[in-house]
Homo-oligomer: A and B are copies of this chain.
Amino acid sequence: MKHSTRMAAAFALLTLMPAAARPAEPTPAEKAVHYRQGVMSAIGWNFGPMAGMVKKNIPFDGAEFARRAERVAFLATLPEEGFTPNTKDVKSHAKAELWANQEDFKARMKTLQKRTAKLAKVAKDGDLAADTDAFLKVADTCKGCHDKYEQE
């Protein structure tokens, strides 16, 4: 296929993405909200089985725990970019306090990133007691921020 044809085909695609954001063409602010919610959902999805292991609801699998911990650590670096001031008036779970306390919010995001990175590192050793401790520090961080800045 000619370069220009491939180019055209490739860019035709871009108007189709992200699929989950359709049917109506969202505004840039709506896209940002959608993005951060998508990332949060992906964090929750991966956090779930780790919680199951820590709670002993499912058998501990160190490799699986480590795989998900690595994902969570990576994903934790992503959502902040979606909390832009232009999203303030988009319907979402963010409380007004979030916009009034940007320094605190950003510090909490940094803490989350540090603690998830630590969890991913600790998880490589496959020790449930150490994993549990690092996991609970992450869970505390999540809860602190959700309690303060998230509304139903």
Contact = CB atoms under 8 A, between A and B. Distances in A.
A60 interface: no
A152 B143 CA distance: 37
A77 to B, nearest CB: 8
Interface residues on A, range: 35 or more
B14 A43 contact: no
Interface of A: 3, 6-7, 9-14, 16-23, 31, 34-35, 37-45, 47-48, 51, 55, 71, 74, 78, 82, 93, 135-136, 139-140, 142-143, 146, 150, 152
12 contacts: A3-B136, A14-B47, A14-B51, A17-B48, A17-B142, A18-B41, A19-B40, A20-B40, A31-B45, A35-B45, A38-B39, A42-B78
